[in-house]
Amino acid sequence: MNDESKVQKAEARDQKSAASAELRPLTSDLCSLTLDTGHAAIHDCWNTIGVEGNGSCPELRKYVHCRNCPVYSAAAVQLLERPLAGGYRREQTEHYAARKKLAAPAKISVIIFRLGAEWYGLATKVFQEVTERRPMHTLPHRRHGIALGLVNVRGELLVCASLARLLGLEEPESRVPRSASRVEPGTTNPKLGTRHVPLLLVAERHGERIAFPVDEVEQIQRFQDDELREAPTTVARSTLTYTRGVVNWRPPLRRSRLGAATEADAHERVVGILNADLLFDAMSRSLT
């Protein structure tokens, strides 16, 4: 809001309070409505003796807040005693002439997370927990597999495995540079322009629990079966093995502090939906 409009608003407020000669600290948009309803003008007692005014209304003892008071709701109903706006009937006619769109029940529910530059989804039902990263106890003689070490999750030691290595996104030897490339918790990713926190996902299947670190967790998202497409053959072979398909996913619009939609959120992303069964089988094979 610029200074000029601020001044104008302040002036308007001063005029109003002078007119009513009442203490009126703040008027909400609804309360400042003056409408030609074709009936008696709405008497806005909530602005004078009610909660927006000086609170001297005796009814307040009974109703506590104006919104519980029948006078207030009667005034709201009175707002409907207005002639129809131009085009209103046409618009409503078209709306009700169209067949009702019934939302098909979503079939696939996944948690969407990021590994490096790639976005993946894995069935929500296999997840037990999304938690913060914690110190990892490395295992001796376990430098080359997908096992990264052990983590303590609620007092239980879980194997922490690298999904990125399993999917062939990262070479097992390159584990030291990985931490260097990783964005530190709570910092702004310069590439994506968004704040995100690397997290730890805890998944479970047939009583077997496993933890794996991810760079970012976006949200739980539901998809229809027909939204799932074949993964393009250009995708790395090892990734393809564990992928059920890909879906296009538009991240929810997030605003940066400055109020502009960040560039990374503006377009659709392709999310690889992983096959949980294959993934778990492969993980248990690699870990034993």
Partner 1 sequence: MLFLLFQIGNDRYALEAQQAVEVLPLVELKRVPQAPRGVAGLFNYRGRPVPAIDLSELTASRPARELLSTRIILVPHTDEAGRVQLIGLIAERATELLRRDQKELVPPAPPTSGYLGPVLMDEKGLVQLIQPQRLLTGEILRLTGLLEHAGPRA
108-115 and 118-123 beta bridge pairing: antiparallel
**Residue 284: how many CB atoms within 10 A of its CB?**
15
Distance CA 58, CA 75 (A): 18
Q: Does 102 bind partner 1 (CB under 8 A)?
A: no
Q: For partner 1, which is the closer residue by CB, 96 or 233?
A: 96
Per-residue mark of binding to partner 1, 49-78 (x: CB under 8 A): ---------------------x------x-
Q: Which residue has the tokens 């009974």?
A: 62
Candidate residues 98, 102, 104, 180; the one interacting with partner 1 per rule CB under 8 A: 98
In the bound state with partner 1, the residue whose beta carbon lies nearer, of 87 and 207, is 87
Q: How far is CA 169 from the centre of its chain?
A: 27
The DSSP output letter for 261 is B
Residue 137 binding partner 1, by CB under 8 A: no
Residue 273: burial class (beta carbons within 10 Å; 0-12, 13-18, 19+): buried
Measured between alpha carbons, how far is 10 from 182 in angstroms, rounded to an integer? 50
Question: Residue 154, interface with partner 1 (CB under 8 A)?
Answer: no
Q: If 0-12 CB within 10 Å is exposed, 13-18 middle and 19+ buried, where does residue 231 land?
A: middle
Contacts with partner 1 by CB under 8 A: the residue count is: 18
Residue 103 found at the interface with partner 1 (CB under 8 A): no
Taking residues 78 to 97 in sequence order and writing x for each that binds partner 1 by CB under 8 A, - otherwise, the string is -xxxxxx---xxx-xx--xx
Shortest Cβ 157–partner 1 spacing (Å): 57
The answer to the question of residue 253 lying near partner 1 (CB under 8 A) is no
**Rg from Cα positions in the chain:** 29
CB 36 to partner 1: min, Å: 13
Q: Give the residue, chosen from 62, 100, 141, 267, that forms a contact with partner 1 under the rule CB under 8 A.
A: 100
Task: For residue 101, give both structure tokens.
Answer: 């769109």
Residues that bind partner 1 (CB under 8 A): 70, 77, 79-84, 88-90, 92-93, 96-100
